[in-house]
Structure 1
Amino acid sequence: MRLSRFWLLVPFLAAGGWWVWQQQHPTALEVSAASVSRGVVESSVANTRAGTVKACRRAKLSPSIGGQISVLPFAEGAHVNTGDVLLRLWNHDLQANVEAADKGVQAARSQRSASCLQAAETRRAADRASRLRQSASISVQELDKANTAAAVADATCKAAEAQITLTAAQLKAAQAQLERTVLVAPFAGVIADINGELNEYVTPSPPGIQTLPVVDLIEPGCFLASAPIDEVDAPNIKTGLPARITLDAWRGRDFPGKVTRVGSYVIDLEKQARTVEVELAFDNPADLKDLLVGYSADVDIILETRRDVLRIPTEALFDKHYVYVLTDAGKLEKRKIGVGLSNWSFTEVTEGVAEGASIVTTPGAAGVAEGVAAKAKETTDE
């Protein structure tokens, strides 16, 4: 009877022993951990939405009047020089107007020559009449008639001079109208796109009207990155600040650059955060040969840099000033620390932990709490 009672108590005794052992030897929670180390910490600002690689100069060109394309000398991808004709509209009527105006100038000059010669002759006749009147050889009426004829001839000469000015102005107006049918390159560049073919009719493309430009001209070998920065961060950005530019097309590669322009106004787009446009130049000229206009770009503008300071991974920080330290006893200790500069990767530590201390990098993970037994996860190199 006593033996049977003993066997009945065995499960309870075992459970109690297991509980006591668990209290004295709790199962350690595996946590991701990192050591407090020394290194570089930067304070930086990043773009809120994807930026874009742009050409330093880009012109989307269209003629200032509508017309039919008669000359299209270059193809897409061609290199052109400043002043090269990119497009010419049919303009025979305007050329005829220029020729007519030019002939008008020539006719006006001939008319001026004839009028002024006549004026000189009548002035000489008036002078002779004046001398004859002194000897009473002619009457006063004849002298007045000679002087009046001379005055009329002088006025006719001056009118002919004015007519030359008028016809010259008409010639300039006709030439200006003719120039509106010719599209020339404002700078040396590469033709990125042409929206039109020979004999097609094209129209101007003013801003705000959904009409494609006829020629898209890009300056080669000069690029910049343009990125929107949140209005809260914009006051801290100044021209000349260093930056890192990353491109989706070149993952894993940083392009050094610097801020060249900060927008002078805040961009207010519906349903989007208000931003300021910032432009950055690439520092290394060798990087420019790899770029294409339109690449998406992200920028990291460095506001301040501190070297050889204590730092921790930023993800280890919670509640702004706290971390979990993995003590030598295998327990988690919640500890308040002083922080300095911070970015997405690292945060500077000014007090609270020493170099080499092990801290939890996943403070929000399940089971992580003050006093919990823990151990660092083993990492394997792949």
Structure 2
Amino acid sequence: MNKKILVAILALAALFLVYYLMMRPKPVAVEVVRIEPGEVKATVSNTRVGTVKACRRALLAPATGGEVARIHVKEGDTVKQNQLLMEVWNKDLKAQLELQEAQIRADEATAEQVCQLKGSAEREARRISLLQQHNQIVSEEQVDTKVTGAKAQRASCRAAQEAVAVSRASRNAVQAAVEKTLVLAPFDGTVAEINVELGEFVTPSPTGIATLPAIDLLDVSCLYVSAPIDEVDAPQIKTGMPACVSLDAFPDKRCSGSVSRIAPYVLEKEKQARTVEVEVKLTDPGELRDLLPGYSADIEILLASKPRALRVPAEAVLEQNKVLVMEEDGLLVERRFTRGLANWSTVEVLSGLQAGDRVVLSVGQEGVHAGAYAVAKNDPA
């Protein structure tokens, strides 16, 4: 080969190289992350916002209608179990109660008198019977009269004692009527709301018609979150599983809890996904101080976890468990992997990828696809 031909070949090769470099697409800048071991948790979360609720809540009202005579508490007060909260006008019933107490005392005195006479008549009957047995001059008629009188006094004593029992039962009936006019705290708690005023007339709620309670009592020492879980995720949840609670009112606060109840039915609402209501009880007393029933909250239930598992960010995963891996020369290659535990942030890699692989995070960016060339904005070591 002569020198001119060699020069021509080299010139053509140089022109081709220049053309290739000029026409080659400019590498796209992407964010990448190296796959490495770490903790992976499988969790499920609520589909719609949940609500903080009190473990015990009582909507209280008197058992009988009447005029509100006394309100012994105000909103925000802390009360003890059986403390009197409100009273409907009941002076007539209290007067009847006093009358019944007086009647009991009178009947008890009468019973004591009659029973004393019974004892005297029985002793007299025994004496006259002994005289007759010792051949004393005592007629049969006298003995019969004394014995019969003793029996009559015995019956009178029993009747007087039963009269006392009747009076006490009447007193108890009036006492029960008085108690129906009182509203007592069924447990230690905090008065959340009072919906009556002095002098108002209150009546029990008719069957099937909801009315405002006279007093709303909450036990804020025990709180739980009730939230809907998609029916697809619900079968994996068991009572006792640990859960984490986040609240919109406290963005930086995360509360610990455990699953305390799973509804035994699927909730069906029009135009909404079918869900199962799950309750998570907050287990740390120190986390309850600033919480109030009614706060919106989200729950994240831990199904399983691995402390050291190969993992990939969930945002890098494409359909059919695929990711884009950047080779050493910048070429983007699509790879499929087998997934294990997963949550909203990370996915466990069981096979198909290796530690150190550079996975593309910018999967939605224009120009990012298998076969393209890229450079890493952040070249992780």
TM range (shorter): 0.7 to 0.9
- Alpha-carbon deviation of 1:349? 1.7
Amino-acid identity (%)? 38
- Alpha-carbon deviation of 1:249? 0.8
Give the structure 2 partner of residue 11 of structure 1: none
Amino acid at match of 1:74: V
Asked whether the 8 Å contact 1:312–1:347 carries over to 2, the reply is: yes
Give the structure 1 partner of residue 152 of structure 2: 152
Give the structure 1 partner of residue 281 of structure 2: 280
CA offsets, 1:196-244, max 9 Å, x none?
1111112335895311111112234443333333344334334443322
Give the structure 1 partner of residue 111 of structure 2: 112
TM-score, L = length of structure 2: 0.83
**CA 1:365/1:194 → structure 2, altered by over 3 Å: closer, same or farther?**
same
Q: Partners of 2:206 and 2:338 in 1: how far apart?
A: 57
Q: Partners of 1:347 and 1:246 in 2: how far apart?
A: 22
Give the structure 2 partner of residue 54 of structure 1: 53
Q: How many residues align?
A: 361
**CA 1:131/1:262 → structure 2, altered by over 3 Å: closer, same or farther?**
closer
- Alpha-carbon deviation of 1:362? 4.9
Asked whether the 8 Å contact 1:237–1:262 carries over to 2, the reply is: no
SS of 2:371's partner is: coil
Asked whether the 8 Å contact 2:223–2:281 carries over to 1, the reply is: no
**CA 1:233/1:307 → structure 2, altered by over 3 Å: closer, same or farther?**
same
Give the structure 2 partner of residue 191 of structure 1: 191
Give the structure 1 partner of residue 247 of structure 2: 247
TM-score, L = length of structure 1: 0.83
Asked whether the 8 Å contact 2:86–2:183 carries over to 1, the reply is: yes
Q: Partners of 2:32 and 2:207 in 1: how far apart?
A: 56
SS of 1:56's partner is: strand
Give the structure 2 partner of residue 127 of structure 1: 126
Give the structure 1 partner of residue 8 of structure 2: none
Give the structure 1 partner of residue 361 of structure 2: 361
Give the structure 1 partner of residue 83 of structure 2: 84
Instruction: Flag structure 2 segments of 5+ consecutive residues without an equivalent.
Output: 1-15
Q: Partners of 1:180 and 1:236 in 2: how far apart?
A: 47
Runs of 4+ in 1 over 6 A off after TM superposition: none
- Alpha-carbon deviation of 1:348? 1.4
Asked whether the 8 Å contact 1:239–1:261 carries over to 2, the reply is: yes
Q: Which moved more, 1:64-73 or 1:313-322?
A: 313-322
- Alpha-carbon deviation of 1:293? 1.5
Give the structure 1 partner of residue 11 of structure 2: none
**CA 1:97/1:110 → structure 2, altered by over 3 Å: closer, same or farther?**
same
Q: Partners of 2:307 and 2:129 in 1: how far apart?
A: 104
Instruction: Flag structure 1 segments of 5+ consecutive residues without an equivalent.
Output: 1-16
Asked whether the 8 Å contact 2:267–2:277 carries over to 1, the reply is: no
SS of 1:186's partner is: coil
Give the structure 2 partner of residue 4 of structure 1: none
Give the structure 1 partner of residue 330 of structure 2: 330
Asked whether the 8 Å contact 1:238–1:259 carries over to 2, the reply is: no
Q: Partners of 1:165 and 1:336 in 2: how far apart?
A: 87
Q: CA RMSD in A?
A: 3.0
Asked whether the 8 Å contact 2:41–2:302 carries over to 1, the reply is: yes
CA offsets, 1:118-168, max 9 Å, x none?
323333443344356554745434433332222122111111112212211
**CA 1:140/1:253 → structure 2, altered by over 3 Å: closer, same or farther?**
closer
Amino acid at match of 1:89: V
* 1:305 and 2:302 matched: no
- Alpha-carbon deviation of 1:265? 1.8
Asked whether the 8 Å contact 1:314–1:347 carries over to 2, the reply is: yes
Give the structure 2 partner of residue 352 of structure 1: 352
